[in-house]
Amino acid sequence: MPSSLSTHKVSVARALCAAFALLFVLAQPAAAQLSFNPTAESVHEDQLLKALKEGDKITGRISIPDAMAASLIQPAGRDWRDFQRSKMPIIGGITIIGMLAVLLIFLAVRGRIRIHQGWAGTKILRFASFERFTHWLTASCFIVLALSGLNISFGRILILPLFGPQAFSTLSAYGKLAHNYLAFPFMLGLVIMFLIWVKDNIPGKIDLEWFKQGGGLLTNGKHPPSPRFNAGQKGIFWVVILGGAVMSVSGWFELFPYLPGDVTTMQIWTVIHAVMAMLLIAAMMAHIYIGSIGMEGAFDAMGTGEVDLNWAKEHHSLWVQEELAKGTVPAADTPRAVPAE
């Protein structure tokens, strides 16, 4: 290389180096001296969290096929945790223990509802065997579903201290399996119950009258006229059908997670499932009460299918009249009704 050119190049190179060095030195310590801030447009967690709407998540791009992984932070999980561990026990406690208290007070004050005229001795068929089968299918599944469900919500507080972790986990695991699989016969029972009984459960004017008289619940000897199902029973029918439908849909979504949507949607469905469950359990407690110890002669309807004639005349007078017209009610001197299986 010609020496004059190389010297020139060297001096230019030196100057450039000096310039860079100066720039480097100037750029060094204090933050405020930087003319370029690479983070000026960066996303900050704070601003993203503030911009979130109720239940929304901070999401980004991922390279994993599992779409759930795209969520970086979902603050709604915190609210769901609060509900599950603070509000839900209160709701559950009030509904279930509250209903238990109401029933005990009712039993204490009103006592067992007796057949006013006493037992007739003759019976009349109230529910055929298929109807009883459907009821017990739904009812027995409901009991297991309710207990295993309550175990998920409250078992940790009430049962874990008694059993210890391993036994409680095993119990809960089987409970979860029972809950998941018995849900299907329960849903089938609901459908059949709806089909066989909906026609007798359409609300009508007679039900208003029944409500006006308080169903005769509180006054001894008072029996408002009632068709095959009185207004209280119609109420239970619709509570079971509609509440059961809500349980079925929300439960279905819990069985097949993320079918209705992402994790936020799932949180909502678990809340619906839990709250509806508490209400249904309270309603069924009342139903079981009145059908067993609450009313003399009531259990026979689902037990054997045949009820005492006097019981039927007192509690379902209009239905007895219809059966009379059909010719299925025995004459006063016949000892037994004709069983129609």
Could you say which residues in the range 125-144 bind another protein, by CB under 8 A? 129-130, 132-137, 139-141
Residues 180-239 that bind another protein (CB under 8 A): 180-182, 184-185, 188
Contacting residue, 122, 172, 226, 310, with another protein by CB under 8 A:
172
24: contact with another protein by CB under 8 A? no
Classified as helix, coil or strand, 71 is: strand
Q: What minimum distance in Å lies between the beta carbon of 129 and another protein?
A: 5
Contacting residue, 10, 19, 62, 318, with another protein by CB under 8 A:
62
Please identify, using beta-carbon distances, which residue of 95 and 151 lies nearer to another protein.
151
- Taking residues 25 to 44 in sequence order and writing x for each that binds another protein by CB under 8 A, - otherwise, the string is -----xxx-x--xxxxxxxx
Q: What minimum distance in Å lies between the beta carbon of 164 and another protein?
A: 11
Contacting residue, 256, 325, 327, 331, with another protein by CB under 8 A:
256
Please identify, using beta-carbon distances, which residue of 15 and 43 lies nearer to another protein.
43
Please identify, using beta-carbon distances, which residue of 117 and 169 lies nearer to another protein.
169
Cα–Cα distance for residue pair 89/103, rounded to 1 Å: 21
Residues 260-319 that bind another protein (CB under 8 A): 263, 266-267, 270, 303-305
Q: How many residues bind another protein (CB under 8 A)?
A: 82
Please identify, using beta-carbon distances, which residue of 102 and 147 lies nearer to another protein.
147
Please identify, using beta-carbon distances, which residue of 20 and 181 lies nearer to another protein.
181
Residues 71-130 that bind another protein (CB under 8 A): 71-75, 77-78, 80-81, 84-85, 129-130
The values of phi and psi at residue 316, to 5°, are: -140, 60
Q: What minimum distance in Å lies between the beta carbon of 223 and another protein?
A: 28
Cα–Cα distance for residue pair 337/315, rounded to 1 Å: 18
Q: Are strands 123-125 and 306-308 parallel, antiparallel or unpaired?
A: antiparallel
Please identify, using beta-carbon distances, which residue of 106 and 154 lies nearer to another protein.
154
Q: What minimum distance in Å lies between the beta carbon of 108 and another protein?
A: 30
Cα–Cα distance for residue pair 121/119, rounded to 1 Å: 6
The values of phi and psi at residue 189, to 5°, are: -60, -40
Cα–Cα distance for residue pair 246/269, rounded to 1 Å: 10
Question: Which of these segments, 4-12, 106-114, 201-209, 254-262, binds another protein (CB under 8 A)?
Answer: 254-262
Q: CA dihedral in degrees (145, 299, 101, 220; nearest 10)?
A: 160
User: 263-278 burial, b if ≥16 CB within 10 A, otherwise e?
Assistant: bbebbbbbbbbbbbbb
Three-point CA angle 253, 257, 261, nearest 5°: 80
Q: What minimum distance in Å lies between the beta carbon of 15 and another protein?
A: 28
Please identify, using beta-carbon distances, which residue of 34 and 108 lies nearer to another protein.
34
Please count the CA atoms within 13 angstroms of the CA of 179 that sit on its side-chain side.
22
Cα–Cα distance for residue pair 245/40, rounded to 1 Å: 53
The contacts of residue 76 (CB under 8 Å, 6+ apart) are 54, 55, 56, 57, 263, 264, 267
Please identify, using beta-carbon distances, which residue of 38 and 221 lies nearer to another protein.
38
Q: Greatest CA separation found in the chain?
A: 140
Q: What minimum distance in Å lies between the beta carbon of 132 and another protein?
A: 4
Q: What minimum distance in Å lies between the beta carbon of 249 and another protein?
A: 15
CB 320 within 8 A of CB 313: yes
